[in-house]
């Protein structure tokens, strides 16, 4: 006999025992067992962060399961209709399916990050819009079948497209979405830090459907949740400062992108790599970066079969292969540094000096023929909370919804504030040669920034 209360359990180090009803398990399992989703087991959530935080080896697969679980808890708490709960949980499960190797890091192989993981996402989702998948899915879910219309709704939620009920979209992508609620806790746990911790259960208990100024139903919090949402937003700010924009991690990731960029230009010099999926993909990426990038849809469509085969393992293999080769080659020097975790030397740049450093750096590198991989300037823009673009709504004691920053002095203080951290990465093998130039560069900038 059918019993909705029968549960499927997944043990999780972050949420503990994640319990899914039999219906929820049936909604999600066909996607979880699919090849595109299983690929996420081999893509680390935080790129090269495990080089600095050894525990950060968790994957997009872990996070996506957690995100779907959190979406189910939110949906149940605010009493979404069952069909909407199904759609939201599937959307949260699949929201990261377009990620490439080492997650956001890999997006930097494209000039100006012109292609992101979200650009690949529709092509992965198309894998599910097949008659055979729908037929198999609906045999398992006769009471809640999938069709083109329902899957189109799921795709719109993932891709931030209209029209979708804002309440549903808020759970999938907003400043209070299931994605952030999971990844802050998860990343904090696996990195072994407490920056990202907040009282998730109290946050969930405080969630409510609030009416915006335009009359839309939105995901919000009661006034009792102000404290926890302040904690949550500060946790996100601290995680970005200390984990996501960790200078050593970004320096290593910059080295990785420099290595892949050089490899894409000289792929035919490495026949053992040129014929691999990654080698072929990189050679095509190099051509794309030299041409009109308005044709990116054509590039994605033509190269999706290659992209979907890639994972962290492909890049680790290439690093190991390159690290064994002739050490006089720059690409081999980079690969060896990545393989042996030789982190570039880092110099923090004061905000008042950034403009001068930028101006002088290009001339310095041109004059002394210094390649980018030996000397790189990295900027990390950070905004903790957007007050106007997509405010979190708080239902006050009289039942009126107002934006969070109007009811929190702390959030009003940090809202819409763009912070930046800027630093120079200097290759350690060439540091002694470069140090006199760097000293002159930073000294000159400091002199200009010093009031007379």
Q: Decide: 165 and 37 in contact? Cβ < 8 Å.
A: no
Domains and their CATH numbers in the chain: 7-192 (1.10.3210.10), 247-380+421-449 (1.20.1250)
Read off the tokens for 55.
């525990």
* 236/382 Cα distance (integer angstroms): 10
Smallest CA-to-CA distance from 279 within 290, 266, 295 is with 266
DSSP 174: S
Distance of CA 342 to CAs 194, 294, 324, 385, 434, Å?
27, 37, 16, 35, 17
- Per-residue pLDDT 10s for the chain (452 aa) are 334 556 899 999 999 999 999 999 999 999 999 999 999 999 999 999 999 999 999 999 999 999 999 999 999 999 999 999 999 999 999 999 999 999 999 999 999 889 999 999 999 999 999 999 999 999 999 999 999 999 999 999 999 998 889 999 999 999 999 999 999 999 999 999 999 999 999 999 999 999 988 889 999 999 999 999 999 999 999 999 999 999 999 999 999 999 999 999 999 999 999 999 999 999 999 999 998 777 899 999 999 999 999 999 999 999 999 999 988 899 999 999 999 999 999 999 988 888 888 888 888 888 888 999 999 999 998 899 999 888 999 998 888 999 999 999 999 999 999 888 999 999 988 888 888 888 888 776 655 444 33
* 279/362 Cα distance (integer angstroms): 30
Give 7-14 contacts, CB < 8 A, sequence gap 24+. Answer: 10/65, 10/69, 12/62, 12/65, 12/66, 12/69, 13/189, 13/190, 14/66, 14/182, 14/185, 14/186, 14/189
Binning the chain into helix, strand and coil, the percentages to the nearest 5 are 60, 10, 30
Write down the pLDDT at residue 447. 55
3-state DSSP call for residue 401?
strand
Q: Decide: 426 and 438 in contact? Cβ < 8 Å.
A: yes
* 277/262 Cα distance (integer angstroms): 17
Write down the pLDDT at residue 356. 86
pTM of the model: 0.94
Write down the pLDDT at residue 327. 86
Query: For the segment 171-192, what is each residue's pLDDT rounded down to a tens digit?
Result: 999 999 999 999 999 999 999 9
Neighbours of 126 (CB within 10 A): 12
* DSSP symbols for 21-35: EHHHHHHHHHHHTSH
Dihedral (CA of 138, 142, 147, 153) sign:
negative
Query: For the segment 114-161, what is each residue's pLDDT rounded down to a tens digit?
Result: 999 999 999 999 999 999 999 999 999 999 999 999 999 999 999 999
Query: For the segment 239-268, what is each residue's pLDDT rounded down to a tens digit?
Result: 999 999 999 999 999 999 999 999 999 999
Write down the pLDDT at residue 450. 40
What is the rounded average pLDDT for all residues in the chain?
93
| Phi, psi at 386, each rounded to 5° | -100, 115
């Amino acid at each position: 006999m059918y019993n909705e209360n029968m549960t499927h359990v997944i043990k999780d180090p972050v949420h503990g025992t994640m319990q899914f009803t039999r219906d929820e398990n049936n909604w999600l399992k066909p996607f979880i067992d699919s090849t595109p989703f299983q690929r996420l087991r081999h893509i680390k959530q935080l790129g090269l962060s495990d080089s600095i935080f050894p525990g950060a080896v968790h994957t997009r697969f872990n996070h996506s399961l957690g995100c779907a679980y959190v979406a189910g808890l939110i949906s149940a708490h605010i009493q979404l209709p069952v069909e909407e709960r199904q759609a939201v949980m599937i959307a949260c499960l699949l929201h990261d399916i377009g990620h490439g190797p080492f997650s956001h890091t890999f997006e930097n192989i494209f000039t100006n990050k012109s292609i992101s993981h979200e650009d690949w996402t529709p092509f992965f989702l198309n894998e599910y819009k097949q008659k055979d998948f729908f037929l198999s899915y609906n045999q398992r879910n006769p009471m809640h079948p999938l069709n083109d219309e329902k899957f189109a709704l799921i795709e719109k939620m993932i891709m931030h497209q209209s029209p979708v009920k804002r309440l549903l979209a808020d759970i999938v992508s907003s400043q209070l979405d299931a994605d952030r609620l999971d990844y802050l806790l998860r990343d904090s746990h696996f990195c072994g830090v407490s920056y990202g911790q907040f009282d998730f259960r109290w946050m969930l208990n405080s969630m409510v459907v609030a009416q915006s100024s335009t009359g839309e139903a939105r995901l919000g919090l009661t006034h009792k949740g102000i404290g926890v949402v302040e904690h949550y937003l500060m946790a996100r700010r601290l995680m970005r400062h200390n984990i996501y924009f960790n200078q050593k991690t970004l320096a290593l990731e910059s080295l990785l992108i420099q290595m892949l960029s050089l490899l894409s230009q000289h792929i035919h010099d490495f026949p053992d790599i040129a014929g691999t999926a990654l080698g072929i993909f990189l050679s095509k990426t190099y051509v794309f970066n030299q041409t009109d990038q308005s044709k990116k849809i054509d590039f994605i469509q033509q190269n999706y079969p290659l992209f979907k085969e890639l994972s962290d393992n492909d890049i680790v293999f290439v690093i190991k292969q390159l690290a064994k080769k002739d050490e006089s080659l720059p690409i081999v020097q980079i690969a060896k540094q990545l393989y042996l975790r030789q982190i570039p030397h880092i110099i923090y740049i004061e905000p008042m000096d950034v403009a001068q450093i930028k101006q002088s750096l290009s001339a310095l590198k041109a004059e002394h023929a210094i390649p980018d991989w030996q000397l790189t300037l990295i900027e990390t823009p950070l905004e903790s909370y957007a007050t106007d673009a997509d405010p979190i709504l708080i239902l006050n004691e009289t039942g009126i919804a107002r934006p969070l920053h109007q009811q929190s002095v702390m959030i009003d203080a940090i809202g819409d504030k763009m912070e930046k951290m800027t630093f120079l990465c200097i290759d350690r093998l060439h540091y002694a040669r470069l140090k006199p130039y760097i000293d002159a560069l930073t000294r000159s900038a400091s002199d200009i920034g010093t009031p007379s």
